[in-house]
Structure 1
Amino acid sequence: MNSRNGSAWVNGPGAVIAKYVLLSFYGYFTIGLTLAVLPVFIHQRLGFNTVVAGGVVSVQYVMTFFMRAYAGHIVDSRGPKPAVILSMFCFMAAGISLCLAFIWASSPALSLALLILSRLFTGCGEGMVGASPVNWAILHAGEGHTAMAISYNGIATYSAMAIAAPLGLLLANNVGYWSLGVLTIITGLIGWWSAITKTALRGARDAPKIAFLKVLRLVTPYGAGLALAGIGFGAISTFITLYFIYRSWANPAICITGFSLFFILGRIFFSRSISTYGGLTVAIVSMVVECIGLLVLCVAGSHHLAIAGASITGLGFSLIFPALGYEAIRNVSASNKGAALGAYGLFIDISLGITGPLVGFVASHFGLNYIYPFSAFVVLAGLLICYLIKRPAVGGYTG
C-alpha cells in the first residue's frame, strides 16, 4: 500500500507539474540574483539617478513584452521545449554581460551599456521561459490541471527570487559583483541540461489557430487588472533597497524574501479558492490585501514593520495572476493556450516595465516616501477594473 501510494504521488499531477515548473525556478533564480543589487550599483557605484536605475531594471520587462508573442507562437507550433532551451541560452548570455559590466565598473557609461545588454538578454530569457514550462506541464498533466500548473509555476518563480535576492546581496558584498554573473551562467547551464533531458510535447496542431491580436483582445480586460496590481510588486522588487537606505534600515533583501515567502504560502493554502469562488472574486479580495500591505509598508516606523508590510503585499499579490489568468484562458482552445498565456503575460511585463521609470519619477519629484502610497492607489484602480468586469458576469454574462 505504501509503495502504491508513493508511486501515485511521484506520478501524480502535482509531481508531474513540479518537474516542469522547476525550469521556471532556474530562470527566475537568475532574475532574482540582481533584484536587490542593480538599483544600488547603478545609483551609488556608477553615479546615475533613480530614474536611470529604475529604467535600466525595467529594460528587462520591455524585452520580455516583445518576446511573449514569439514564445507563444513557438509553443503552439513546435512545443515548449525549444522555447525553454532558447531561454536558458539567453540567461547564460545575460550572465556573461553581467560579468563584463561589473569588471568595467570604473567606466560608468560602458558598464551601464553592458548592464542594459544583460537586461535585454534577461528579458528575452524571461519571455521565452515565462509561460513555456506551464504549457509543458499542462500538455503532460492535462487541461484539467491548468489552475494547478499556473499556481505551481508561481511558487517556483517566487521561491527562486526569495532565495536569490538575499543570496545576490551576500555574494556582492562578500565575494564580488562578478560572482553574480558567474552564478547566472551556471544556473542557465543547469536549466539547459534539465530541458534537453525532458520529452518534447506538442499540443493539437489540427485545431484552428486564432490570430495573436484577437487572443490579446480576449485577455485584455483581465490583463489590465493584473498590470495595475503588478505595480505593487514592481515597486518592492525595484525600489525596496533604495527605500531602506533612505530610511536608514538594514537588510532590504529580507523584504523580497518575505514578499516571496508569503506569496508562496498564499499559493499553497488558498489556490483552490479560485475554482471555488471564481477568479474575479479572488482577485478583488487579493487586491484589497495587497493594498493593506503597501499601506503598512509606507507607514512603517521600523524595518521589522516594513518587512511585515512587504509580506502582506506578497500574500495579496499571490493569487492575482492565477485568478485572472484562469478567467482569461478558460474559454480558449488547447491549440491557442500558448498564445493566450503569452498574451496574458504581456500585462505583467507592461506593469513591471513601467514601474521603474514611473515610480522612479515619483521618487525623484516627490520623495521615496511617496512610492508606496502611490503604488497602493494604482492597485486600487486594478481592483476597480475587476469589479467592473465582475458586474456584468453577475447579471448573466460569462464570456
Structure 2
Amino acid sequence: MDATIEQSKNISYSLISYVFFTFIGYFIIGLSLSVLPIFISKGLGFSMLVAGIVISLQYVMTFLMRAYSGKIIDSKGPKPAVLVSMLSFAFTGLVLIMAYYFKFSPIVSLSFLIVTRLFTGCAEGMIGASPINWAIMAFGEKHTAKIISYNGVACYGALALGASLGVTIVKHFNFYGLGILIVVLGILGFFLANTKENKTGELSEGEPTSFWKVLSKVAPYGLGLALGGLGFASISTFITLYYDYYHWQNGAMCLSVFGILFVAGRLVFSNAINRFGGINVAIVSLAVETLGLTIISLSYHPYFALIGAGITGLGFSLIFPALGVMAMKTVPSSNQGSALAGYGLFIDISLGITGPLIGGVADIFGLNYIFPFSIGIVMIGLGLVFYLKMKLSE
C-alpha cells in the first residue's frame, strides 16, 4: 500500500515537468488577457466590439492550428510542437513592444496587436494538447484523467496568475516590461523543452484515422465543453470592463479568484471522475458554473462578484477533464493526439466567438447584460450533457 502511494506521488511530481510547459504558455497568455481590452478600448479609442474581435483572433488561429498540432504529435511526437509554441510566444513579446511603441497611431498599433494575437493563437494551438500527450506517452493511458487534471491546473492557474501580474507590470513598467518578460519566458520554455526526450511510442501505433473523422467522434463532448467554456471566456475577456462599467476596482482579481477555485476544484475533486463517471461530473460542474454566473449577474458589490467568479471557477474546473475522458474513449490510442487536439478545438471555438458575441451584446444592450446572456448559453450546455447521458444509458 505504501509503495503504491509512493509511486503515485512520484508520478505526480514527474507530471510537473511536462505540464510546466502548459504553465509557461498560459501564463504568457494571461499576462496580456486583462490589460489588452482596456488598452484597445480606452488607450486606442476603439469600441468594445473591436476589442473583443482582436482578442478573439487568438482563438481563431488556435482553432486553425489544432489539426496540424495533432498530426505532428501523432507522427513526430509532442516535443516539436512544444518547441514551435515557445518560439511563437517569444515572438509575440517583440510584436507587443512594437504595438505599444506606435500607440500614438491607433491603426498601426492595432495592426501590431492583431499580429500578436495571431501568433499567440499559433503558440496556443501547438501547446494545447502537446504536454498532455507527452505525459500520457511517458506514464501510460491509465493516468489520463490525472494528467488532464494536472494540465488544467497549470493552464488556468497560469491564466489567473498572469492576468493579475500583467496589470501590475503594465502599471509600473508599461507594455515594454510586459513584452520583455514574454520574450524571456518563451526562450526559457524553448530551452527547457529542448532538454527533454521526445516520445513517439504507443500512441503512434496502429492505422491512423483522419483528423476530421476523429473530430466527428469527439464533437458531442466538445460541444458541451464549448458551451460551458463561454462562461469562463466571458469572465476572462470582459470582467475588467465589467468592473470599470460599475466603477469597481481590481477587476483582474476576479480572474485570480476564478483561478484559485479552479485549481482547488481540480485538486480536491481529482478522483471524482473515476468514482462517479465523466458525464455525471460534467452535469454537476455545469450546474455549479451556472450558479456562479448568476451570482455575478445579480451582484451589486464587487465582493459578491468575486464570490460568483470563484464559484464559476469551481464549476468550470472539471468540465474539460470530465468530458475529455469521455471523448478519449471514442478513439483508439493511435489517434489520441488528434482526439485531444480535436476536443480542444471546441474550447477554442468557445473562446473565439465570445469576444465578438459578448462584445456585441455589450454594445447593443449594455455590459450589465453579458452575464445573463452567458447563463443562458451554459444552461444549453447543461441540457446537452443531460441528453448525452441519456443516450449512453440506452
Which piece of structure 1 moves more, 205-214 or 22-31? 205-214
Counterparts of residues 173-184 of structure 1 (less than 5 Å): 173-184=171-182
Kindly state the Cα deviation for residue 203 of structure 1 after the two structures are TM-superposed: 3.0
Aligned equivalents of 1:89 and 1:266: distance in 2?
Answer: 32
Aligned residue among 13, 29, 46 for 1:31: 29
Aligned equivalents of 1:253 and 1:267: distance in 2?
Answer: 22
Kindly state the Cα deviation for residue 331 of structure 1 after the two structures are TM-superposed: 3.5
Aligned equivalents of 1:231 and 1:238: distance in 2?
Answer: 10
Alpha-carbon contact 1:203-1:335 (below 8 Å) kept: no
> Is 1:363 aligned to residue 369 of structure 2?
no
Which piece of structure 1 moves more, 238-247 or 271-280? 271-280
Aligned equivalents of 2:289 and 2:68: distance in 1?
Answer: 32
What amino acid maps onto 2:145 in structure 1? A
**2:276 matched residue in structure 1:** 277
> Is 1:104 aligned to residue 102 of structure 2?
yes
Kindly state the Cα deviation for residue 151 of structure 1 after the two structures are TM-superposed: 0.3
Aligned equivalents of 2:93 and 2:123: distance in 1?
Answer: 11
**1:129 matched residue in structure 2:** 127
What amino acid maps onto 1:243 in structure 2? Y
What amino acid maps onto 2:16 in structure 1? A
Aligned equivalents of 1:203 and 1:99: distance in 2?
Answer: 41
Alpha-carbon contact 2:218-2:330 (below 8 Å) kept: no
Kindly state the Cα deviation for residue 232 of structure 1 after the two structures are TM-superposed: 0.3
Counterparts of residues 219-298 of structure 1 (less than 5 Å): 219-298=218-297
Kindly state the Cα deviation for residue 179 of structure 1 after the two structures are TM-superposed: 1.2
Aligned length, in residue pairs: 392
What amino acid maps onto 1:125 in structure 2? A
Over residues 201-256 of structure 1, what are the superposed CA-to-partner deviations in whole Å (9 max), with x where a residue is unaligned? 11333411011111000000001110010110110000000000001000011000
Q: Which runs of 5+ in 1 are unaligned?
A: none
Aligned residue among 27, 36, 45 for 1:47: 45
> Is 1:153 aligned to residue 151 of structure 2?
yes
What amino acid maps onto 1:259 in structure 2? F
SS in 2 for 1:34: helix
What amino acid maps onto 1:156 in structure 2? A
Alpha-carbon contact 1:94-1:184 (below 8 Å) kept: yes
What amino acid maps onto 1:253 in structure 2? A
**1:172 matched residue in structure 2:** 170
Alpha-carbon contact 1:13-1:145 (below 8 Å) kept: no
What stretches of structure 1 move > 4 A for 4+ residues in a row? 4-10
Kindly state the Cα deviation for residue 389 of structure 1 after the two structures are TM-superposed: 0.7
> Is 1:319 aligned to residue 318 of structure 2?
yes
Over residues 287-334 of structure 1, what are the superposed CA-to-partner deviations in whole Å (9 max), with x where a residue is unaligned? 110010001001111111111111100000000000000000124222
Alpha-carbon contact 2:217-2:330 (below 8 Å) kept: no
SS in 1 for 2:33: coil
Alpha-carbon contact 2:26-2:158 (below 8 Å) kept: yes
* TM-score for the superposition, normalised by structure 2: 0.97
Aligned equivalents of 1:268 and 1:154: distance in 2?
Answer: 10
What amino acid maps onto 2:268 in structure 1? F
Aligned equivalents of 1:154 and 1:88: distance in 2?
Answer: 18
Kindly state the Cα deviation for residue 122 of structure 1 after the two structures are TM-superposed: 0.3
What percentage of aligned pairs have identical amino acids?
Answer: 51
Q: Which runs of 5+ in 2 are unaligned?
A: none
**1:339 matched residue in structure 2:** 338
Aligned equivalents of 1:301 and 1:35: distance in 2?
Answer: 25
Kindly state the Cα deviation for residue 9 of structure 1 after the two structures are TM-superposed: 6.5
Aligned equivalents of 1:194 and 1:6: distance in 2?
Answer: 29
* TM-score for the superposition, normalised by structure 1: 0.96
Aligned equivalents of 1:370 and 1:326: distance in 2?
Answer: 34
